[in-house]
Chain A
Amino acid sequence: MSKHSKEGKKFLSDKSKASWHDDTLWGVRKKRDRAVSMIDDWEVLRERASSVKERVLDNLEEYILQFENSARNNGVIVHRAKNGSELNSIILNLLKSRGFTRVVKSKSMLTEECSLNHFLEYNGIEVVDTDLGERIIQFRGESPSHIVLPAIHLKREEIGETFHNRIGTPAGCSDPIQLTAAARVHLRSKFLNAQAAITGVNFAVAESGTVVICTNEGNADMGLNASAKLHIHCMGMEKIVPTFGDLAIFTRLLARNATGQAITTYTSHYTLPDEDCEMHIVILDNGRSERLRNPIFRNSLKCIRCGACMNTCPVYRRSGGHSYRYLIPGPIGSIIAPFGNCQNVSKKSQNNQNERIYSDLPFASSLCGSCSSVCPVKIDIHNQLYQWRQILTRKKQVSPIKRVVMKFVGKILASHLLYSYAGKIARLAIRISPRVLIYNRLNAWGLERELPVPPKESFNEWFRRTQKS
């Protein structure tokens, strides 16, 4: 059993929680469908979004330079980080040289990618995640289980208990309204005392040097504007859009596809530093150029992190985000995870460390293609998962049993004679074998389901018989 299956099994052991998770995410998918149906030219919009991203990826360095120039002309300081540790030390230096120790951070998968929180905390900086879901999991020492709904794996009682222990809400209180109100008070004091604010970036407009941040809570804006004098925006290099005209396509798509809202509550555009404030932007590579050079997987850089592929995925909904063990779970995460940070590639084996650790993820999919059909930028997600399977199998990163069985099955499927013969045997065997022979640990197909009663004859046999008469 793969690591993902094992973790998934643990997730499914709490049946009612697992089915709540499944239903809730499917509900988000349905909300998305309603929001999408309100736009007449949705498919045209997707096509345009995909082609803008294509153009950006084709000329990425040029657009980054244009963005950097525009931002510098605005009085913004732009940094480039090759990898996570570079980003972390750039940020630590900015804080240290100003003697700042209190930081508020708004949700950013990018800083998760670099383990920024741990690094800053280790160096004596207080980092407060200010998105409610992020704060909850920060209190619990967990990682997000979904990129848009970070605490979707938790029930209200668990959150109530965490808040009781950490911010003193009454014991047993699990009412979302009361818990949110308590978090508001707690986090407001953090906002009003923060010296620096760190945010992620949804889009970066090359023509003007503007960073665009989309939130429903307003936590990024509170962090930046309530008291912090040092503003640091962290972005992956693929976040560039050339113009505001292009940006419009994405601000129309993002929230509709993510949560089924027409737009997020706050769509904030920061171009010039505020009075008495410093504005910094850190542009991170961390393996992205490597992925850009890869003809099969470069498309995955189009991702705008809406999370729709997770909500729709029958495997994700029934196994939970943590079963993927990677910061971005679900279908898109299963493409990115084996890539990981390409610095880990050892020259000798040419095998990325992450390819080994996450080799099971491309197989954690039914390849039904639902992810690709909801992707707002038309990434061929299920096809890329299929491609990974080919690569990982060739590199012997899948279990030896699977390799042997697949080779064997491949031989049978390739031969007409063997195939019809094997069919006959299987139909007979399933009918007459004792249960223990079929429903045992070795047959994953029989673990959680009853196999169907096999028909007496194959389609071919039926066809030949009925054609005769």
Chain B
Amino acid sequence: MELIEIFTSRVNESGAQLHIAPDIEEAYRLAEELVLSNSGDGERFISEQEYTIAEGIYGVAENGGIWLDSTSVSSRVRPFIAENLALIISKSKICSNMEELYRVVSPASTGFGVLISGPSKTADIEQCLVYGAHGAIKHYVILY
């Protein structure tokens, strides 16, 4: 249980919004609701530049990151190009740190893998933290 607590506090620190869902179906429903509420002018049609929902393979407690690989997304660009990114992760898939992550995920096998922690950010102008430099402006983590 302690791992989950560390994970959730690191997720919050990373600038992501954390939500808890009772099961995976509810997690997907919530993810959709969250990414759509923020897209376009309330239109229901959304392009891949506007949102991506993906299921993470593992989460890392020590830094709040979520590991995705080629099997998690239809193309490599999806987690980066979307303005709203929702990542769904199971409470049973949280490991403690990077060393454990690389042991449990076989990081090279699908050809591409990325650990994402929070929305895209920059502080290149006077060290002011701004979200959404290039990638996601809003980053949701749904834990079930």
Residues of A within 8 A of B (CB): 24, 27-28, 39, 74, 130-133, 136, 149-152, 154-156, 159, 176-177, 179-181, 183-184, 187-188, 191, 205, 208-210, 216-219, 221-222, 224-226, 244-245, 247-249, 251-252, 259, 261-274
Q: Do A179 and B118 contact each other (CB < 8 Å), given the known contacts A222-B134, A225-B75, A225-B77? A: no
Rounded to whole angstroms, the CA-CA distance of A40 and B75 in the bound complex is 38
Say yes or no: B133 contacts A184, CB within 8 Å. yes
User: In the complex, which of the residues B99, B112, B124 contacts A150, with contact meaning CB atoms closer than 8 Å?
Assistant: B124
Give B72-87 as 1s and 0s: 1 = Cβ < 8 Å from A's Cβ atoms.
0001110111000000
Question: Across chains A and B, which 9 residue pairs bring their CB atoms closest together, nearest first?
Answer: A272-B111, A218-B135, A133-B124, A262-B63, A217-B133, A208-B108, A225-B77, A263-B63, A244-B102
Q: Chain A: which residue is nearest B105 at the CB level?
A: A244
- In the docked arrangement, what's the CA distance between A149 and B123, Å? 8
List chain B positions with a Cβ less than 8 A from chain A.
10, 13-14, 60, 62-65, 75-77, 79-81, 97-99, 101-103, 107-108, 110-128, 130, 132-136
A-B contacts, 20 listed (Cβ < 8 Å): A130-B134, A133-B122, A149-B124, A183-B133, A218-B133, A219-B134, A221-B79, A221-B80, A225-B76, A225-B81, A247-B98, A248-B99, A251-B98, A261-B14, A265-B120, A266-B114, A267-B115, A267-B117, A271-B107, A272-B110
Q: Interface on chain B toward A: helix, strand, loop, or mixed SS?
A: loop
Known: A217-B121, A218-B80, A272-B112. A245 touches B99 (CB 8 A): yes
Say how far A37's CB is from chain B's closest CB, in angstroms: 14
Q: Give the interface centre of A74, A263, A271 by most chain B CB atoms within 10 Å.
A: A263
CB distance from A327 to the nearest CB of B (A): 18
Extra inter-chain contacts (5) besides given A132-B124, A159-B125, A187-B134, CB under 8 Å:
A131-B124, A156-B126, A181-B132, A209-B108, A225-B76
Q: Which residues of B lie under 8 Å from residue A150 when comparing CB positions?
A: 124
When the two chains form their complex, are residues B14 and A269 in contact, meaning their CB atoms are under 8 A apart?
no
On whether the beta carbons of B122 and A217 are closer than 8 Å, the reply is: yes
Contacts of B117 in A (CB 8 A): 261-265, 267
A132 CA to B110 CA in the complex, in Å?
30
Report how far A247 CA is from B102 CA in the complex, Å.
9
Contact B80 A244 (CB under 8 A): no
A-B contact count (CB 8 A): 173
Q: Among A27, A154, A210, point to the contact of B108 (Cβ < 8 A).
A: A210
Given the complex of chains A and B, what is the CA–CA distance between A209 and B134 in angstroms?
27
Known A-B contacts A184-B133, A210-B108; the reply to A216 vs B77 at CB < 8 A is: no
Q: Give CA–CA (A188, B119) in the complex, Å.
A: 16
A152–B101 Cα distance when bound, in Å, is 34
Looking across the interface, which residue of chain B has its beta carbon closest to that of A137? B124
A270's partner among B103, B112, B127 (CB-CB below 8 A) is: B112
Q: Which residue in chain B gives the minimum CB-CB distance to A178?
A: B130
In the assembled complex, the Cα of A225 lies from the Cα of B134 at a distance in Å of: 13
Q: Are B114's CB and A269's CB within 8 A?
A: yes
Q: How far is the CA of A298 from the CA of B133 in the complex (A)?
A: 37
CA distance A216 to B111 in the complex (A): 22
How far apart are B62's CB and chain A's nearest CB, in angstroms?
Answer: 6
Instruction: Quote the shortest CB–CB distance from B133 to chain A (angstroms).
Output: 4
A249 to B98, CA, bound (A): 8
List residues of chain A with CB within 8 A of the CB of B108.
205, 208-210, 244, 269, 271
A218–B119 alpha-carbon span in the complex (Å): 9
A139 to B110, CA, bound (A): 38
Chain B minimum-CB-distance residue to A216: B121
CA distance A226 to B79 in the complex (A): 11
Q: CA A219 – CA B75 in complex, angstroms? A: 17
Q: Which residue of A lies closest to B83 (CB)?
A: A184
Contact, CB under 8 Å: A155 / B132: no
B124 touches A151 (CB 8 A): yes
A180 near B125: Cβ-Cβ < 8 Å: yes
Q: Least Cβ distance of A393 to chain B in Å? A: 38
